[in-house]
Amino acid sequence: MIRTRASIRVRGLAVFLLPGVWVAGVLAVALLVPGGVHCVSAVAVAPAIACAGSGRRRCVAMSGALGLVALAVAVAVADDDEGLAPRSGTAVTTLAVVILCLWLADRKARLTAELHRAREIALAAQQVLLRPLPRRVNGVVVAGDYLSASRGAHVGGDLYEVLATPYGLRAVIGDVRGHGLAAIGTVATLLGGFREAAHDEPELGGVLRRLDRTFARHLRERAQAEHPAVASAPPESPAAEEFVTLLLLQLGEDGGTQLINCGHPPPYRISADCPGGVCAAQIGAGEPLPPLGLFEPGEDLTAVRCGPLLPGQALFCHTDGVADARNAAGVFFPLTTELEAAARASVRSGSLCARVLVQSMSARFLRHSKGRPTDDMALLLLHRDAPRVPAQIAQAAHVRKAVRRLPGVPRR
């Protein structure tokens, strides 16, 4: 569940003040209630509350000191004939609890520091695997977002990448069978294969064939590691049932769009100049191919041309974790409706803002799933900026020339 900063601060303040409130309540009972002095030993619970709550050594020591002061006040004010032994026993118990809680708080602080270091290392490794997307590639604005179903993870069974290649902008978005940390090995293999093949293969079909060989080799190696005595993956092996849905995309300098769809949800084309305002429609690219791993790409495999991406338009790609998300009532996420609403809200000065649109879609998705997604989610947006008019270009050139004439500005 996602919490706001205000709620976190209120919770932290309440945890910090709770031991003092407990001591004050015990002292009030001991002083105001007849015979309540017998309950004064409950002040020994204050250090335990501080240790379980904030876990800070200073807070534990302060709560223990408050408990001892309250015990002294209660014993001094109360008029009873119990003797010194029970009072001394309560004081010794309180001191013992304070010492134990201080040790636990110190151990908790060390474990917390180790956890923070482990998270930093894991985050660095995950960022190497799923690198941050470039903001602009070949004149196209790029934005994306990722949400893993595994708590605390930044990667899972979904993948995306956008590269500038000699053949234009090339992008991939995919979904490995399964989700979470168990699918990271396959994701790493496919991303590494795409980053190599996208620069080497002149056609998208060649990229897909290379990815198929890379994926098959990965499955063989994993099967051999699981079953060293078997040369190929046995039918009962999980590797024999692995597959990946993939969408390969290429944008030329003129905006020409080519797609190869292997069982993946088709992308949306978003336009801001529709008669009714902003509109989003799925791109029809014919019958998709089976997922990768369930067929062998032939030599005659060619990409489907889907028309140019005009200036001002955007391509929105997603994994099935978005469309298949349900709320508590079992209602699916209304992807098309929410996408159009997010696109309308992201229009700035007559043009879409890619980053705002993606952030809005992520927020809508989390709101629909109540912050508890059951599958990984990946979003990818490619927005072709509208070119500036000739008057703006001439004005910008005039400004650059005027700046070069200023004293201290180097001439180029």
- 389: pLDDT confidence band, cut at 50, 70 and 90? very low
pTM metric for this prediction: 0.69
Dihedral sign from CA coordinates of 195, 196, 200, 203 = negative
- pLDDT band at 25; cut points 50, 70, 90: confident
Average pLDDT over residues 175-200: 85
**∠58-64-68 over CA atoms, to 5°?**
145
Residue 115 has pLDDT above 70, yes or no: yes
Q: How far apart are CA 243 and CA 228, in angstroms?
A: 22
In Å, what is the CA distance from 164 to each residue of 128, 139, 167, 169, 277? 18, 10, 8, 5, 32
Question: Does pLDDT of 393 surpass 50?
Answer: no
Where are the strands (E) in 31-167, listed by range? 136-137, 140-147, 158-165
The pLDDT of residue 5: 53
**Residue found under tokens 């001991």:** 30
Q: H or E segment at 247?
A: strand 244-251
Tokens of 226: 């699981």
* 331-366 tens-digit pLDDT: 899 999 999 999 999 988 778 899 999 999 999 998
Average pLDDT score over residue span 247-254: 92
Minimal CA–CA distance to 143: which of 316, 337, 291?
A: 316
Q: How confident is the model at residue 106 (pLDDT cuts 50, 70, 90)?
A: confident
177-191, 308-322, 324-338: range with lowest mean pLDDT: 177-191
d(CA 412, CA 403): 12
Name the more confident of 327 and 14. 327
Residues 96/88, Cβ–Cβ less than 8 Å: no
Q: Smallest Cα–Cα separation from 158: which of 249, 246, 33, 269?
A: 246
Q: Of all residues in the chain, what percent are helix, strand and coil, respectively (each to 5)? A: 50, 20, 30
Average of pLDDT values for 116-121?
A: 78
Q: How confident is the model at residue 313 (pLDDT cuts 50, 70, 90)?
A: very high
Beta strands in 111-203 (DSSP E): 136-137, 140-147, 158-165, 168-176
Q: Contact, 242 vs 288, CB < 8 A?
A: no
Q: What's residue 156's pLDDT? A: 75
